[in-house]
Amino acid sequence: MSTTGGMFAVLKEKVGQVLVPGDEFCFGAEETISLSESAKPERAVCGPGLRRSGDRLVVMKSGVLRHKPPLTFWIDSQQKRYVATKGETVIGIVTARAGDTFRVDFGGSELASLSYLAFEGATKRNRPNVQVGDLVFAQFLIANKDMEPELVCIDGSGRANGMGAFGAGGLLIKVSLGLVRRLLAPNSDIRLDLEQLFPCELVVGMNGRVWVRASSVQQTLIVANLLQSCDTMTTQQRQQLFRRVQQGAL
Amino acid sequence: MAADGVKLSKNLLRMKFMQRGLDAETKKQLEEDERRIISDEHWYLDLPELCTKEYVTVLVEEESFTPCEDLQFGRISFRGFNPEVEKLMTLLNPKDEDEEEKDVSCMQTDITDEEMALRYETLVGSMKKKYAKKRERAAMDQNDNHHEMDSEKKRTFLRPQD
């Protein structure tokens, strides 16, 4: 009864390789046991791009297979279209007020609803000061293919924790979802390079929207342009460009 | 009773105070009836057997990248541009253990060790008293009292000479 044999061994072999939709992995015979045998089940996670279908694991996005110990697998893919996912934080634009909810555009296929009670310190009497056109940094409470997505600006304990309306004196840009993940990755090299430049602030939504603010309009624009061009540059090119900016050439 | 032609109801016969007068046969029959009622009341769900196989590993589907890639919180501030956000960053972003160790080593101290020692110098006596046993404490108190007595003696009122 080896847990590393069978499907997961095959998956581990393929880590770092490109997979395309339709590739599939089958649970090996040793991974299935009858209910009568009492074995403590081990927890494996198939992340984005992989889907379980019966006793098979099917790839549904093209990209590179990634692995995190102990048993987490996902497909690292490049895309620009955002699909709402529960728990992810995004930057949304308030487009309308409908009764006791706001309609928020987060760049997905439909608008999300955001209750006016889902802000820190908001009560029925004390409505949050959010206008149409404001930016909100919010988290998905409900996100599935059958229901309207719902956003909230508080966590489980009712704290804002950095979420809520924001966006005075900054610039909102759109980048690819891959760049967002590179920005937010632990020990991200883009973030280290940015830190060398000048004091600035970023709000990064998983939906590919990035809001930038620095102490002057010029600096804000520089950071925004740098981020947008980061998408298609190699590490060396990027470092070269950042160095030039630091020296004041741009 | 049976001779009277009056039949007692089953429910009445099942009661505890009626059990004494019953003969063995009716008792057995009653028990059987009861058992049938209980088994009739049991019901089952008529479901197809879906979960015939149990996997050694439980496969969980996760749709978000955040837990897979350990992505950090989406608000970032560099070089103290927004101190509130920087506070949030340290709070929400899990740090590597190595970094934490580094932090401890270079942690700034408001009070130097020397200052701390000077401050506690005066407290040595009272701290000693705190950890002493009862008997020792009594002895210490006596000592203190002696000192006080001496000082009191010294401080007696001296009548000014005319």
Q: Find chain A residues with C-beta within 8 A of B87's C-beta.
A: none
Q: Are residue A181 and residue A145 in the same domain, yes or no?
A: no
Residue A242 CA to its chain's centroid (Å): 25
Pairing of strands A72-76, A42-46: parallel
Q: Are residue A175 and residue A128 in the same domain, yes or no?
A: no
* Residue A1 belongs to a domain: no
* Residue A16 belongs to a domain: yes
Q: Are residue A31 and residue A55 in the same domain, yes or no?
A: yes
How many whole angstroms separate alpha carbon B86 and alpha carbon B93? 10
pLDDT tens-digit series, residues B63-104? 889 888 889 898 999 888 888 888 888 888 876 544 444 444
How many whole angstroms separate alpha carbon A163 and alpha carbon A94? 14
The segments of chain B whose pLDDT lies below 70 read 1-5, 44, 47-57, 95-109, 144-154
Instruction: Provide the percentage of residues in chain B whose pLDDT is more than 90.
Output: 2
Q: Which residues does B contribute to its contact with A (CB < 8 Å)?
A: 51-82, 85, 88, 92-93, 96
- Asked whether the beta carbons of residue B60 and residue A185 sit closer than 8 angstroms, the reply is no
* Residue A208 belongs to a domain: yes
* Residue A2 belongs to a domain: no
How many whole angstroms separate alpha carbon B129 and alpha carbon A1? 65
Identify whether the C-beta of residue A90 lies closer than 8 Å to the C-beta of residue B75: no
Q: Find chain B residues with C-beta within 8 A of A200's C-beta.
A: 77-78, 81
| Residue A16 backbone class (left: φ over 0; alpha: ψ -120 to 50; beta: rest) | left
pLDDT tens-digit series, residues A48-93? 998 888 778 899 999 999 998 878 889 998 888 999 999 999 999 9
Q: Note the pTM of the prediction, 2 decimals.
A: 0.67
Predicted local confidence at residue A34, as pLDDT: 47
pLDDT tens-digit series, residues A6-21? 677 788 888 888 999 9
ipTM above 0.95, yes or no: no
Q: How many domains does chain A have?
A: 3
Residue of chain A nearest B73, judged by CA positions:
A184
* Residue A149 belongs to a domain: yes
* CATH code (residue A57): 2.40.50.100
* CATH code (residue A98): 2.40.50.140
Q: Are residue A93 and residue A162 in the same domain, yes or no?
A: yes
pLDDT tens-digit series, residues A156-174? 888 888 899 988 889 999 9
Q: Are residue A157 and residue A185 in the same domain, yes or no?
A: no
Domain hosting residue A25, numbered range: 7-76
Residue after which a domain boundary falls, among A135, A166, A197: A166
The set of residues, in sequence order, having a beta carbon less than 8 Å from that of A196 and lying 6+ positions away, is: A242, A246
| Average pLDDT value for residue range A200-219 | 93
Predicted local confidence at residue A231, as pLDDT: 86
Q: Are residue A93 and residue A159 in the same domain, yes or no?
A: yes
